[in-house]
Structure 1
């Protein structure tokens, strides 16, 4: 399982432009809720082959802000997006980020 960390708008553009389904996770390294959600995200990826990337919201704030602006979805942290062919097909945040919820969204 490989999870890219996006540090620049160019990396975000490349990730979003790729075809097919992909997961994008916005993570705050100082938030316990985000830590739990990140563990759920990694647990899902341990069993599924879905391209995935993480944005650290404090360290790479411009990239995090660009996601909110580009997709017109209010920033939250933690937050996960299922992208398909460059469009958001599903998103959720906080305690709703579970392995089961991610699996259901990806399979749907």
Structure 2
């Protein structure tokens, strides 16, 4: 699997309009907890269905996009944060040690 970098607001609009599932990982490059959550997630991400786009946001570089994600998907901003989007709606919002590829898979297969 591979990350798709989020670098502009239009990508968020496209995720909102997309059918099916998408994952957004909001990462702080200045936070060791965020780095550990990212590495832990990447260890198990092969279990996620291959057709699921995995989006990555460097929220230090793109604070405006991070704020827009919170607004569009009506979630409280956290870092690190993982959102599972289904048909344009956030159905799972986890942060810190709660971030797991297993929970993403369970939600998709439920």
Q: Please list every run of 5 or more consecutive structure 2 residues that lacks an aligned counterpart in the other structure.
A: none
Q: Which string of whole-angstrom CA distances, capped at 9 and with x for unpartnered residues, describes residues 56-80 of structure 1? A: 1111111100011112211000011
Moved over 4 A (4+): none
CA distance in 2, matches of 1:18, 1:45: 21
Give the TM-score of the pair, scaled to structure 1: 0.89
Q: How does 1:65-104 map to 2 (within 5 A)?
A: 65-104=67-106
CA distance in structure 2 between the aligned counterparts of 1:102 and 1:32, rounded to whole angstroms = 22
CA distance in 2, matches of 1:85, 1:46: 22
Contact 2:47–2:102 (Cα < 8 Å) also in 1: no
Unaligned runs of 5+ in 1: none
Q: Say what the alpha-carbon RMSD is for the aligned residues.
A: 1.5
Across the two proteins, how many residue pairs are aligned to each other? Answer: 108
After TM superposition, list the pairs within 5 Å mapping 1:20-99 onto structure 2. Answer: 20-48=20-48, 49=50, 50-99=52-101
Distance 1:106 1:42 in 2: 17
